Structure 1
């Protein structure tokens, strides 16, 4: 296998800056046999009289690439050039390769993989291959301080790599006995170089390797390794053995009873590695063009082969943590860690739903509910902004926003399934994600970039039912179909609990996006649009009251999701508020702490209870150990967030392996509540990007002591509190450039800031520095 080099790094202009104009051509190996066939490369030998003082390689591909100069790897980025709507734009990367060059003869090889470009996408019943094209190819230029030294053109050669088959879902087969040889020529492909843009976010990177925490041998001799963490990752092996011996690596997220290796939930994703040894003394291998979602790996050895070392290598586009939260409850701390791991595992080029099965798609609904949490836990600004560009490109002509993006079904519609676009709660990603980026980073440019798409989305919503109340069809794929509160639990099927109806859920989000876009219009100075949308929001509010509230103040379906969203977004009429509080408390209490919300209701549940002052219920529901509940997952041994509340039964059996992911970040959106309500750091829309925050912690006694931190553009904010015998002591640290607002609330007795009394109703501004706030409850 080619040797790695640590001395090639991404140049600064590889992530931002003006678009470079390539003189090179896009070239494809003439020996390329198409999708799911032997991997190929393009190559060129060239001579240098001397090594230039500075040399850069700009490079991109159709498919995935891995470049080598003189047998050494260029850079350390993974899965390049990344995943975008390739018919809209394709990223290129820029590397400093000075140290990889040598006087005299040099050789460059660019290995190519199927990747997202032409590998299988979607599940087995509706697989899409060759989504953006059926040829892999590369484009590259080597320059020294602007002078062109080498470019891809018709003089390059091609041949076969040791990667004999690869795919994002498939995995990878590697035969180390194969040595690349220039056996064929290349084809210059028609290609619009205007599609090439600098990589818009951080590249996918390796995190620290993880060694197994346990291993055992099955009855048939196969060895299972437990890495102690479910992650988006791959295996790295060190091997020895005879030429032709083979190692097979299977992956799974969970074990069934009696440590049964179970990966049925991967569906048609093979998600395996095979490595055929060359017979060298020691051989190292990690896949080049794929990744998996797993905690466990099972090794099968065929022939004379021995595993000397095995590690898990997690990979992600967001390798640096931006926030942390701890409490006095160990299970809560593990829940936060699980959320961080699910974000890392699914923030691989696009915010995917899961990293393991035949899906791994950029679902818009998952992304919008999690966007706030994502920004708390990692620097997600460029990552989500890149994703939004794909969402905008995938938006339909009628304004419908795709269910996922990049969207293979836009180019390859699935017969009989309608258009995969237009669901409320999912399409609202186009309004909610930009808003979260604005709050967290003060990024008004993203609002401006997305604003036209927001308007097209809102007009689409209004047209679904020609008015403020949306009445979605029940048929999957029909115009205006909605996922509603996806995977909302109903409890005992003999007497199921109430759930939100599609029309109510859709109209709730119709209002949320309309009201939010009106606010965005004012920020952008779009006063005419702001007035139009304010009027429309008022119409939706009035219609919602008429359609979904009884004269007694009871909302139509009296379920946790309806109440949470209605209260959180101001859709409970003032004259009904007292009665509505009673109804909401009732539906929360009658489950004895069990959650009754799905994908869209869960992020709103605890914030709504908290801001209504129902802290006892918020605490009970959050700390509930029964299913459905966040901590049920933790107590079942979860190391990442599950797709379904009931993904594992108490006896460890898998529920519904046909649709069950154990690494799905959506329910981890509760962490936004931990930062903003429990730790009490709330970003302000009038001072976005943490220029100013509200400090207002919700004291949940069972969580004491609480501590949180978050790295902002100004520096680190720290906040925390302890409760002892009814007395609360808070610590707040603000970096230079950040201020906080503290309000004298009536339920906080003897409120003091740095020893000075804060009167009831008083608003105090805290400057940068460390502050001590105390009060009694």
Structure 2
């Protein structure tokens, strides 16, 4: 093969291209019919194997002699296209034939120029207004067929497509006619890098569990699972008949189809039949978030088969957790499905409405859970590069990446700099280091980390962060987004912006000191340690009363402060009692939002308040994790109160039923309930911290996690107060168990454990008793 990498940095691989980026002159611009570029060429059938290197501005699908190249979806993917553009590499030997061959590259708007963001302010042509393709087809002898202006172009039967819009397809126009030429675009080939993560792929199809006809004769299909993907169906009918498919996540109280929460996203497909036998269709350049599909047929046509096709960048599970509680098991499944639906090239907030953006806050709180449930290393590393590309000159990190607003600040000014969100640049690399031993990601992101913590310090020029209240002002923070307040006649206490911002200011600064130490950057380590201590002292003076009560007396403040050791020793006992009382006063209901929720149960477990952790986790009222499961949720909701007990949809203007953030509780299930954690001192699961915190009502519990060395398995069951815990570690992985107060009279493999035990690879049996309440 004639493939020689021109440059390698981290896992970024570039190459020398012969082809040019060419644009179809048939293209009418954003929102018009999709176009193709094509070339007919001679091949003698002997110059094999053959490889195709290909990318595009927009989205592409490639066909050689009418056969699709590969099965990857939504290629070339989504990056900050002014920073990096992915290319793909395919072996196409079996697609070539002796004599005349034809290569055809279909092009559509995709993320590159579809309107992005929400409502009337959506930004079209965000990264450019010309779609184009670049390709090199290389034979075994080094001969190259490349894109140049001798290629021709024409329009496709895809009359319109868009990420939020959906797709309109007229099968009567499938005879793609070359009507125009092509034009070479001014394009920097240095931007092209090999695809940095796994391709988006289809998962197993989901068949409908039920269907019915509404009052207007439309058929509604329930596929039983909310997912990110599309509908594929086979239809038979006359030419010109039309099939329209609309999507929704939920039904109204009377089972009526309701997708108001999609806002301005049309999220539909329209297929016009060619009328010659069975016809199978699925959209080419878009996807949707849905459980239900409403099918409207105009003319003479009949659906013969229909399925929901989930798609994901992380289709294979890497971990699982089951217990004796069916609702908890479903909660874990819901989290897995939300991750799959939202890990499509970028970790998005939701897959359905006019948004679908890579919010940094959501990704930050969920990153560890993501790594437990799937191999997310390359996916999150790719995302971090987009975060760094979007970072502003003053160090502010975008609210989401890739960030459409960065290139169009007039539309959305000030969309960067929120604490809890921008901290993704520090937190996610550390997660990748601990889970995968990825030291390189720490080095790659270090400069951006420093710029971020310096930015946060600069908001108020000191250790206390006092963010402005107006959205878009420098240093604005989302605080503890969507923190529930309870009864509006007597709302529960919530954290204030200055406290939330200062807490995260400490978290990232303290973590950066640890990262600097790991990298041997000792001057930076010392600087960040001193700064973290200054923030700690300022936090104590500002937010902790002499009686040990936190200023806002809310669950988020206590959870984050305890979890990150911000409560001075002299106040810990009193603050713990205040924390306990706040939980009790809330009737064990959750009082935390996006940044507080992942910390709540780990903080209670750390403090030994297992009774509270159990009651908070297992209560089934709103707000609560199991409430949404009891209401039939099959993915994680954006809001605790996304649906009322009577089935009424709450606030359709901002209400997603497929948001993974609150699924971050699964990290606690693995690390506390199942008792296995990666050790930062020996990352990549070379060492495992073994510290089970059993919740007796969940018995029996079983968990597994696949790592590079093999599979870790952990499980336990309770017999009264007696716990039998069984752990299996693969070769290359050892465990450390240190008995705590919840491990009374522990024995390991029949021998008593006094202080600390090392668990070699293999299966171990740990028996202990839970303390009396």
Normalised by the size of structure 2, how large is the TM-score?
Answer: 0.98
Answering whether residue 393 of structure 2 is matched by residue 400 of structure 1, we say no
Partner of 2:255: 259
Aligned mates of 1:414, 1:638 — CA distance in 2 = 39
- Pairing partner for 1:691 from 656, 662, 686: 686
Partner of 1:495: 490
Answering whether residue 268 of structure 2 is matched by residue 272 of structure 1, we say yes
User: What is the Cα deviation at residue 146 of structure 1?
Assistant: 6.1
Q: How does 1:501-540 map to 2 (within 5 A)?
A: 501-540=496-535
- Pairing partner for 1:181 from 166, 177, 180: 177
Answering whether residue 187 of structure 2 is matched by residue 191 of structure 1, we say yes
Deviations 1:395-452 (A, max 9, x none): 000000000000010000145x531000000000000000000010000000000000
Partner of 1:313: 309
3-state DSSP of counterpart to 2:559: helix
Deviations 1:658-696 (A, max 9, x none): 000000000000000000000000111100000001111
Q: How does 1:69-108 map to 2 (within 5 A)?
A: 69-108=64-103
Aligned mates of 2:726, 2:593 — CA distance in 1 = 35
Partner of 2:766: 773
- Pairing partner for 1:385 from 364, 381, 385: 381
Aligned mates of 2:715, 2:495 — CA distance in 1 = 36
Deviations 1:457-505 (A, max 9, x none): 0110110000000000100010110000000000000000000000000
Aligned mates of 1:741, 1:461 — CA distance in 2 = 37
User: What is the Cα deviation at residue 16 of structure 1?
Assistant: 5.7
3-state DSSP of counterpart to 1:19: strand
Q: Is the 8 A contact 1:126 1:414 kept in 2?
A: no
Stretch of structure 1 that moved more, 741-750 or 452-461: 741-750
Aligned mates of 2:225, 2:305 — CA distance in 1 = 18
- Pairing partner for 1:304 from 300, 306, 314: 300
Aligned mates of 2:573, 2:606 — CA distance in 1 = 14
Deviations 1:261-284 (A, max 9, x none): 000000000000000000111111
Partner of 2:570: 575
Q: How does 1:356-755 map to 2 (within 5 A)?
A: 356-415=352-411, 418-755=413-750
Aligned mates of 1:746, 1:296 — CA distance in 2 = 49
- Pairing partner for 1:354 from 333, 350, 355: 350
Q: Is the 8 A contact 1:51 1:101 kept in 2?
A: no
3-state DSSP of counterpart to 1:772: strand
Stretch of structure 1 that moved more, 387-396 or 748-757: 748-757
1:512–1:17 distance in 2 versus 1, CA, 3 Å: closer
3-state DSSP of counterpart to 1:698: coil
Answering whether residue 230 of structure 2 is matched by residue 237 of structure 1, we say no
Kindly tell me the number of residue pairs found equivalent between the two proteins.
763
Q: Is the 8 A contact 2:12 2:196 kept in 1?
A: no
1:252–1:51 distance in 2 versus 1, CA, 3 Å: farther
3-state DSSP of counterpart to 2:528: helix
Aligned mates of 1:397, 1:768 — CA distance in 2 = 48
Stretch of structure 1 that moved more, 44-53 or 258-267: 44-53
Deviations 1:71-129 (A, max 9, x none): 00000000000000000010000001000110001000000010000001000131100
User: What is the Cα deviation at residue 565 of structure 1?
Assistant: 0.1
Aligned mates of 1:752, 1:602 — CA distance in 2 = 34
Q: Is the 8 A contact 1:244 1:277 kept in 2?
A: yes
1:510–1:757 distance in 2 versus 1, CA, 3 Å: same
Answering whether residue 309 of structure 2 is matched by residue 336 of structure 1, we say no
Give RMSD over aligned pairs: 1.3
Deviations 1:170-219 (A, max 9, x none): 00000000020111100111110000000000010000001100000111
Aligned mates of 1:284, 1:125 — CA distance in 2 = 35
Deviations 1:691-736 (A, max 9, x none): 0011111011111111100001111000010001111001100000
Q: What residue ranges of structure 2 are gaps of 5+ in the alignment?
A: none
Aligned mates of 1:650, 1:24 — CA distance in 2 = 59
Partner of 1:6: none
Q: Is the 8 A contact 1:340 1:377 kept in 2?
A: yes
- Pairing partner for 2:284 from 284, 288, 294: 288
Aligned mates of 1:127, 1:351 — CA distance in 2 = 20
User: What is the Cα deviation at residue 19 of structure 1?
Assistant: 1.4
Aligned mates of 2:704, 2:418 — CA distance in 1 = 35
Aligned mates of 2:54, 2:356 — CA distance in 1 = 26
Partner of 1:7: none
Partner of 1:764: 757
1:466–1:17 distance in 2 versus 1, CA, 3 Å: closer
Deviations 1:621-668 (A, max 9, x none): 000100000000000000000000000001111000000000000000
Aligned mates of 1:87, 1:584 — CA distance in 2 = 48
Aligned mates of 1:622, 1:468 — CA distance in 2 = 34
Deviations 1:585-619 (A, max 9, x none): 00011111110000000000000001100000000
User: What is the Cα deviation at residue 17 of structure 1?
Assistant: 6.8
Q: Is the 8 A contact 1:500 1:559 kept in 2?
A: yes
3-state DSSP of counterpart to 1:94: strand
Partner of 1:122: 117
Q: Is the 8 A contact 2:219 2:294 kept in 1?
A: yes
Q: Is the 8 A contact 1:204 1:349 kept in 2?
A: yes
Deviations 1:484-541 (A, max 9, x none): 0000000000000000000000000000000000000000110000000000000000
Q: Is the 8 A contact 2:53 2:135 kept in 1?
A: yes
Aligned mates of 2:579, 2:115 — CA distance in 1 = 46
Partner of 1:217: 213
Aligned mates of 2:515, 2:429 — CA distance in 1 = 10
User: What is the Cα deviation at residue 310 of structure 1?
Assistant: 0.4
User: What is the Cα deviation at residue 49 of structure 1?
Assistant: 1.4
Stretch of structure 1 that moved more, 264-273 or 117-126: 117-126
Aligned mates of 1:699, 1:747 — CA distance in 2 = 9
3-state DSSP of counterpart to 1:456: helix
1:482–1:197 distance in 2 versus 1, CA, 3 Å: same
Aligned mates of 1:242, 1:84 — CA distance in 2 = 42
Aligned mates of 2:47, 2:280 — CA distance in 1 = 32
Aligned mates of 1:555, 1:654 — CA distance in 2 = 35
Aligned mates of 2:196, 2:391 — CA distance in 1 = 20
Partner of 1:4: none
3-state DSSP of counterpart to 1:427: coil
3-state DSSP of counterpart to 1:117: helix
Stretch of structure 1 that moved more, 323-332 or 749-758: 749-758
Partner of 2:341: 345
